Homo-oligomer: A and B are copies of this chain.
Amino acid sequence: MKESIEFQTENKEFTEECHTILTAVSDALYVIGGKWKLMIIIAMARGNKRFTEIQRQVTGISARVLSSELKDLELNGFIVKKVENGYPVSIEYELLPYSQTLEELVNAMTKWGIQHRQKLKAEISAKK
């Protein structure tokens, strides 16, 4: 299957191929789109397991939103909530193996975000 984004003239095959790609990207955005989901997974991949830890690491997220996002992520098979009985009860969230399938995507986005910030910085310097 051809997946590269390319610049080319139109023909009938491209419309179908384009549709395939758009559907795939739409599927992905549906599950991991939005402001927080990838960031939560990244924070967890760095060892943050507790609710408060994650909230501290993911700057700006409120408890209400974090709670809701964690439920979504659990439903979609990225994480699991583990409750350890004891005094007090200890609750940890853990990444499931499926979250590792996002590694390439996260790396690509990180790389792009870094270069984009550098581009903006360069543009601002140029204007002075």
Asked if A15 CB lies within 8 Å of chain B CBs, one says: yes
Judging by beta carbons under 8 Å apart, are B8 and A47 in contact? Answer: yes
Residue of A17, A29, A100 with most chain B CB atoms under a 10 A cut-off: A29
Known interface pairs A5-B106, A18-B46, A102-B112; 19 further A-B residue pairs with C-beta atoms within 8 A, sorted by A's residue number: A3-B110, A5-B107, A8-B47, A10-B46, A14-B47, A18-B57, A22-B42, A23-B113, A25-B39, A25-B109, A25-B110, A27-B114, A27-B116, A28-B113, A29-B35, A101-B116, A104-B111, A105-B109, A105-B112
Binding site for B on A (CB under 8 A): 1, 3-10, 14-15, 17-19, 21-29, 31-35, 38-39, 41-43, 45-48, 57-59, 95, 98, 100-117, 119
